[in-house]
Amino acid sequence: MPAMLCLRCCRHLSVMLMSSTTLKGRCLPLVTVSGSIIGTIRRGTATCSASWSAAMAPAPWQISPWNWKSLFRPFGRSCKLLLRKAWLPSALLLSPPTRISGIEMLKSTLVRRYMLFPIRILRYRLRRLQYRLRYGDTETPAFFANSFPKSGTHLLLQAIQGFAKLGPVIYSGLPAITMYEAFSGEKLSESEVASQIWRLQHGDIGYGHVFAAPQTVEALCRPEMASYFIYRDPRDVVVSHVHYVTELWTSHVHHDYYANQLKDFNQRLQVSILGRPELTEIDFPGILQRYEPYLGWLERPEVLVIRFEDFIRNKQQTLEKILAHAISHGFRLEVETKAALEILEKSIDPKQSPTFRSGRVGGWRGNFSPENIDLFKQVTGDLLVRLGYEKNMDW
């Protein structure tokens, strides 16, 4: 078991467990992994402190909702998320802990995703080494597939991954770069997100959901970056969002609310349209407020803007634009254009996407009631007109 020491008195965990409740309440444990201090644990109440020794033995793995603000970053935010979600002492909780077995823990999406993060980093480093040995120093642009969530992110990403078969390009295999942390819903700062984008090197492929903010625009619109942005009819987006949160991703921060507290699809759809403005710790605004921060990409000539509907209906023409955009940013095509387009098309397999459900165009018509239509108009105003999906508000 990793060593645990108190930040104030440097007592070992074994001493704290045998000490009085008062001492347990005063001690602030430090977590260590393989002898390296990771960060401090915020104290709970005296009641929680009293349950310290009782909870440790029968429940070695517990789920904690604490939002730690200061942790080490050898493995980035992924370690922070893992430790926040899966931690040992129940004294961290202000309510009885949720206990899960070691087997259940290993099966969870969170652990599979974030305990394997160091392996993903190692795999990426090996790919970079192989890249350098094979191609040396190149001026191949980095690629970034940006999107509004539930708008065909992996469809675009798969097409861009085809460039790895055309030249000196590698897929990083690292998690998406987003404005919100996936499991906690915590909003990241503009500088944090921009710094992740700047880390992409020549030939890297990255993807994510990134606002058109000043620092992120600078990072994604530089000459050595081939940036793409895909968006979708917001009506189809909210329908897809309901299925995604309720059925596809059970680790989503809103899954429990959608699956267990909302009674039917109609209620869930209304929440996806309206958001949850009553929340204070988690930012979940209405669909208009969620969409607007991305609209700036539509005005950036450095970014190739793609409509999801055009990709589905005119795949060949869209792939031609994707290829031409890469070439305009310095990608050297070593095969004929026709052969390159065939390779890009073969790289697309929606069934391989972890979030793919149907990929339908206009599916909202079978899900929107007249009341939903009126609500959507009230919330979004002329958003559909600005995006080119409707000519006026009379739809």
Contact 204, 135 (CB under 8 A): no
User: Domain check: are 193 and 110 in the same one?
Assistant: no
Tell the residue number behind the tokens 């710094």, with chain if given.
195
119 lies in a domain? no
Name the nearest CA neighbour of 78 among 132, 27, 124.
Answer: 124
Between these two residues, 226 and 4, which has the higher pLDDT value? 226
376 lies in a domain? yes
Between these two residues, 98 and 339, which has the higher pLDDT value? 339
138 lies in a domain? no
Q: Which amino acid is at 100?
A: I
User: Domain check: are 164 and 79 in the same one?
Assistant: no
58 lies in a domain? yes
User: Domain check: are 211 and 95 in the same one?
Assistant: no
Residues 243-259 have a mean pLDDT of 83
User: Domain check: are 329 and 180 in the same one?
Assistant: yes
Query: Which tens digits make up the pLDDT trace of 337-395?
Result: 999 999 999 999 877 665 555 667 888 999 999 999 999 999 999 999 999 999 998 98
Tell the residue number behind the tokens 């895909």, with chain if given.
230
CB-facing half-sphere around the CA of 346: CA atoms within 13 A: 10
48 lies in a domain? yes
**Structural domain harbouring 257:** 143-395
Between these two residues, 123 and 326, which has the higher pLDDT value? 326
Query: Which tens digits make up the pLDDT trace of 266-275?
Result: 999 999 999 9
Give the Cβ contact number of residue 257 at 10 Å.
17
Type and span of the H or E element at 37: strand 36-40
131 lies in a domain? no
User: Domain check: are 347 and 202 in the same one?
Assistant: yes
305 lies in a domain? yes
User: Domain check: are 157 and 110 in the same one?
Assistant: no
* Angle ∠(157,79,253) on CA atoms, nearest 5: 65
Q: What span, in angstroms and rounded, lies between the C-alpha atoms of 378 and 156?
A: 31
- Tally the domains of the chain: 2
pLDDT at position 6, please? Answer: 41
107 lies in a domain? yes
CATH number where 333 lies: 3.40.50.300
Residues 244-262 have a mean pLDDT of 84
User: Domain check: are 277 and 335 in the same one?
Assistant: yes
Type and span of the H or E element at 322: helix 315-328
Tell the residue number behind the tokens 């074994």, with chain if given.
14
User: Domain check: are 278 and 369 in the same one?
Assistant: yes
User: Domain check: are 101 and 147 in the same one?
Assistant: no
User: Domain check: are 71 and 166 in the same one?
Assistant: no
Q: What span, in angstroms and rounded, lies between the C-alpha atoms of 89 and 83?
A: 11
pLDDT band for position 106 (cuts 50, 70, 90):
very low
Strand ranges, E, within 61-214: 62-63, 98-99, 142-147, 170-171, 177-178, 204-209
Q: What span, in angstroms and rounded, lies between the C-alpha atoms of 256 and 262?
A: 9
Q: For helices 234-243 and 370-380, give the axis angle rounded to 10 degrees.
A: 110
| Listed residues 114, 131, 163: the one ending a domain | 114
| pLDDT exceeds 50 at position 240 | yes
Q: Which amino acid is at 211?
A: F
User: Domain check: are 39 and 96 in the same one?
Assistant: yes
Contact 78, 181 (CB under 8 A): no
User: Domain check: are 96 and 204 in the same one?
Assistant: no
* Angle ∠(276,280,283) on CA atoms, nearest 5: 55
pLDDT at position 2, please? Answer: 41
